[in-house]
Amino acid sequence: MLTHIKTQFFLFISLIIYFTGDAVAQVSPEIPIADYTFETIEVPGVDFLEVAASNDFGDYAGNTRSPDGKKTLGFTLIDGVFTTYDFPDSLNTYFYAFDNAGKAAGHYKGPDNLYHGVIMEDGELTQYDFPGAAETHIYGLSDETGALSGNIVDEAGVTHAFSGELIITFPGAVNTYGDFVNAAGAVVGSYVDADGMFHGFMRHPDGSFTTIDLPKMSNLEFLFVNTITDLGVIGFRAKAANDILRSYILLPDGTLYEVRLPGSVTTVVRNVNQDGSIIGYYDLADGRRSGFIGRPTPNPDGEDFGSTFSMHLSKGLNMFSVPLKPTVHMTARALALKTGATTVITLDPATQQFVAWTPNAPDDGFPIEGAKGYIANLPEARAVVFTGTGWTDQNRSAAAPFAITPLIRGDRGVAQKAWAFVMSGYLKGGHYHNDYYVRIQNLRTNTSMKAQVRDNYFAAATVNLNYRSVVELGDTLALTVTDAHGNIVSEKFNFTVNPANLANAVLNVSLDSIGTPKQTLLLQNYPNPFNPETWIPYRLSEAGPVSLSIYDAKGTLIRTLSLGYQSAGFYQNQGRAAYWDGRNALGEPVASGVYFYQLVTPSFQQTRRMLILK
């Protein structure tokens, strides 16, 4: 349930931001309360809901209490479904991070009173301990890289921040606490100096630090920096003696706002989203704790919490451009994480071929650029917020952002056809086949697509930019794998398109027997009938000496082709198949008629028929 509240008050304090070195920046002592429209996040029957994180799709994670009120449990609230998590034998379990893939992270307190990191993925909890650390506290999870962030305690009892594999210690600090890392690699957290005073910090990607302070609050009990967006908007909270806990939003230009939900005893901001909205929780006087989302009210003077552009993408296939240049390099994987897409497709201008990427790919895929269109298939409609700056080019300006969603659905809203479709998967086995190609033919339309294999992964796309169907329900897609020379190196695989494939615009497969057939076979010669030459294809499931004998209609042996010792494989293309020039053992052309050819190996023998017409 979401309850709407609007507030606008003012508070007067001062802020000084100390930069590395001697540079000091002063801001105005008048600190207004930010103008937000608040919505309460509630779960029926739950009176303690500490919302600590959210993703781009309106899902939440955080902490709640067990029914008896004695334990803290982590929770997720995904598509309105509330689920709690309790690490086995833990005293308490906490969630503080949540990504677009539905993965949550935090930490738990064990029976030994030590903290260990915990990751929830696909409903399962696993323990994560930072290498060499006595304790691990996770507070952040990067959508772009998957890197965890937070703080660790070493064997000497000293606390350090961490991000990914990086350990961060603020110079001269007694203890350093980490919280969150943005896409650019800027890490925020807090530290305690030699005098026992708390300060916030931001560690820049180049290794330098910025300190965040409230110097007029000399009786400060603590100050914790919680979050930073890709645009550099920072959220933090602080408490002075004999005062309530207060939360703040700091803009990149140094402007500071307090955040306060009216009627609450305390308001805690835990996360700032890319669109400027904030996530956290608040306490009421009766002890209840509820989550909230706050959306900034547009300022008539044009002041904003960052450059954003909201775009509505529909369920199914969408064609659109990315409206803003991200603050860091964006890839197909990052775009899929932002939109929840099952696949992302683009056109390679050099080859004029469509290139696809799916979330099971071993890499991040192609770069996302301005003035280019992309196709993405979404399982659900959603508004997507992009942040960054305007795309620029020395020769031209980026095209205006657009989004097109032409749908092809049946009477009941179920997809029956698709105007874009991807077939992707992996080649099984320990060998890498980066010079192989996957060729796919739609047996109904006789159209084909292909893709090169990289790290045993492939993704082949077919698209009709006039939004006409390229694949329909029940279509059979025949797949073969070839090497760099065009030689067939696999069985022919047939796959049928089902409703789930159309809903995802993707058919994922796993291919085995690459390079080695399941059984030895003699195949039909080609061309047939022929004059005067033909090729005789075959497959070998095991290595050994191979010969091919040719007989006339009376069963008389007229020619033996000794093929020698051959490795297991597919001998089907003209470059590898057995070749017969239509001559007998004396080199004389044979007459028209029916002939038989027989493949012989130590463990196999098979005969087939062919015809010469002159």
pLDDT band per the 50, 70, 90 thresholds, residue 302: very low
Q: How far is CA 220 from the centre of its chain?
A: 41
pLDDT band per the 50, 70, 90 thresholds, residue 408: low
Average predicted confidence (pLDDT) for the chain: 87
Q: What value does the CA radius of gyration of the chain take, rounded to a whole number of Å?
A: 32
What pLDDT score does 179 carry?
Answer: 96
**Domains assigned to the chain:** 4-296 (2.120.10.30), 309-511 (2.60.40.1120), 521-612 (2.60.40.4070)
Please provide the DSSP assignment of 402-465 as one string.
-EE----B-TTS-B-EESEEEEEEEE-SSS--TT-EEEEEETTT--EEEEE-BTTEEEEEEE-T
pLDDT band per the 50, 70, 90 thresholds, residue 230: confident
Q: What is the pLDDT of residues 329-376, one digit of tens each?
A: 889 998 998 888 999 999 998 899 999 999 999 999 999 998 889 999
Cβ(93)–Cβ(61) below 8 Å: no
Tell whether the model's pLDDT for residue 23 goes beyond 70: no
- % helix, strand, coil for the chain, step of 5: 0, 50, 45
Strand order in the sheet with 198-203: 24-26, 16-19, 209-213, 198-203, 187-192, 175-181
Q: Is 595 or 277 the better-scoring residue by pLDDT? A: 595
What average pLDDT does this structure show over 287-304?
74
pLDDT band per the 50, 70, 90 thresholds, residue 172: very high
What pLDDT score does 217 carry?
Answer: 63
Nearest to 406, CA basis, from 415, 393, 397: 415
What pLDDT score does 301 carry?
Answer: 47
pLDDT band per the 50, 70, 90 thresholds, residue 394: very low
Q: What is the pLDDT of residues 429-458, one digit of tens each?
A: 656 677 789 999 999 999 999 999 999 999
What pLDDT score does 8 carry?
Answer: 28
Tell whether the model's pLDDT for residue 410 goes beyond 80: no
What average pLDDT does this structure show over 54-65?
93
Tell whether the model's pLDDT for residue 139 goes beyond 70: yes
What average pLDDT does this structure show over 379-389?
82
Q: What is the pLDDT of residues 535-594, one digit of tens each?
A: 999 999 999 999 999 999 999 999 999 999 999 989 988 888 999 999 999 999 999 999
Give bridge partners of residue 390 from the DSSP assignment.
none
Least confident piece of the model among 260-269, 311-320, 362-371, 410-419? 410-419
pLDDT band per the 50, 70, 90 thresholds, residue 223: very high
Tokens at 247, concatenated: 């939360």
What average pLDDT does this structure show over 70-95?
96
What pLDDT score does 30 carry?
Answer: 62
Nearest to 57, CA basis, from 74, 80, 82: 80
pLDDT band per the 50, 70, 90 thresholds, residue 216: low
Cβ(458)–Cβ(365) below 8 Å: no
What average pLDDT does this structure show over 447-476?
94
What pLDDT score does 5 carry?
Answer: 32
What pLDDT score does 598 carry?
Answer: 97
What pLDDT score does 391 carry?
Answer: 80
Tell whether the model's pLDDT for residue 396 goes beyond 80: no
User: Pairing relation of β-strands 220-228 and 148-153?
Assistant: unpaired
| Distances, alpha carbon 614 to alpha carbons 527, 551, 583, 595, in Å | 13, 18, 13, 14
Tell whether the model's pLDDT for residue 128 goes beyond 90: yes
What average pLDDT does this structure show over 149-169?
96
pLDDT band per the 50, 70, 90 thresholds, residue 413: low
Q: Is 213 or 402 the better-scoring residue by pLDDT? A: 213
Least confident piece of the model among 243-252, 355-364, 493-502? 243-252
Amino acid identity for residue 495 in this structure: F
| Distances, alpha carbon 68 to alpha carbons 41, 52, 108, 153, 416, in Å | 22, 22, 18, 31, 50
Report d(CA 220, CA 223) in Å as an integer.
7
What pLDDT score does 290 carry?
Answer: 95
Tell whether the model's pLDDT for residue 20 goes beyond 70: no
What pLDDT score does 392 carry?
Answer: 72
Tell whether the model's pLDDT for residue 27 goes beyond 70: no
Tell whether the model's pLDDT for residue 12 goes beyond 70: no
Q: Which residue has the tokens 């606490």?
A: 177
